[in-house]
Amino acid sequence: MSEAEVLEQDPVLQALVTLSDAATSGANHLTVLNEDLAAVRAHRMRGWSWRRILADADLANPLSSLTKVAADLARACGAFRRALALGLRREGMQVTEIASLFDVSRQRVSALLRPGSLEADDSVEEDAVAVAKNA
């Protein structure tokens, strides 16, 4: 069986691959971000004002880069968590067991398991916003 066929049959593995891709992309973006932060730090050490630094067209805005990386990771993580919850449930694991494994309430797991649940879909966006705000 080819990798594509395995992925097609296993949505949890598919979500894991997507999460891994997001992590790799995030790591690459964070490397560039680190270089951008070093440039910002160097300008500040030379006495530039924060306003001047942020207005400089030659410098990338580190906040937007960081927010994008955090949001992309949060979305991929939420999709993986939902796929994993569904996969574990299909394998016969009880909602309370999944909740314990994920360290969340059973109500949260129930929301993840509900097909087409807006609450489950919204939680991914909420995770992305929370991660971005805490970044």
pLDDT mean by block of 10 residues, the chain; 135 residues: 81 95 96 93 96 90 90 95 96 97 95 74 52 50
CA 31 to CA 81: how far, in whole Å? 26
Stated length of the chain: 135
Question: What's the structural domain count of the chain?
Answer: 1
pLDDT computed for residue 130 by the predictor: 52
Q: Are 128 and 70 in contact (CB under 8 A)?
A: yes
Give the pLDDT confidence score for residue 7 in this predicted structure. 75
Q: What is the pLDDT of residue 80?
A: 96
| pLDDT score, position 60 | 84
Find out whether 12 and 84 touch, Cβ atoms under 8 Å.
yes
- State the pLDDT at residue 117: 59
Give the range of the structural domain holding residue 63, as residue numbers without chain letter. Answer: 3-134
pLDDT score for 125: 52
Task: For the beta carbon of residue 40, count every other beta carbon within 10 angstroms.
Answer: 18
| pTM for this predicted structure | 0.73
